[in-house]
Structure 1
């Protein structure tokens, strides 16, 4: 599993989480609580967290190609829902080895 994350500077993180989760709730399994959103895309998962003046995004994807696609999909949807312009995020990536059976 590949984990990629980014932080967006915005004062509307809570609102964006609610809107994005509501938007995708008809198609995917979504969980929301105050300042937190989880979206299960099937082979990929997205965690959104509101922190101070930032929106933290974490994606768990099966591979790099899927991660790049999901980064763009999530950011494109956030841009459409934002009241203010969002700056293109800088993504950091890490590989997570599955330790099942160890």
Structure 2
């Protein structure tokens, strides 16, 4: 498993968390509240999110053999669509 984490500075973290969760809820297994959520992707990847007043924390787990860079890009592009008023946001993946 490959683990990538990022802290994304934004005052709208809860809104973006909920929008992303709702957006993918028709295709994937999604559980969320305004403060945290998880999205289980086909193929075994999982995105865990936590929102506070200053940032959106992302934890992306990708199985061996899957492209973790591509999964990070997919997550970024979707969140940036919701954050078009302030985006693109800064993702400091580690």
Q: Quick one: distance in 1 between partners of 2:65 and 2:88?
A: 24
Which residue is equivalent to 1:75?
Answer: 76
Shift of 1:34: 2.7
Correspondence list, 1:1-102, <5 A: 1-42=1-42, 43-63=44-64, 65-82=66-83, 83-92=85-94
Q: Could you say which residue in structure 2 is the equivalent of 1:98?
A: none
TM-score, length basis structure 2: 0.90
CA drift at 1:50? 0.5
Bigger Rg, which one: 1
Please give the per-residue CA displacement for 1:12-34, whole angstroms capped at 9, x wherever unaligned.
00000110000000000000013
Task: Structure 1 unaligned segments of length 5 or more: list them.
Answer: 93-102
Provide structure 2 residue ranges, at least 5 long, that are not aligned to the other structure: none
**Aligned residue-pair number:** 92
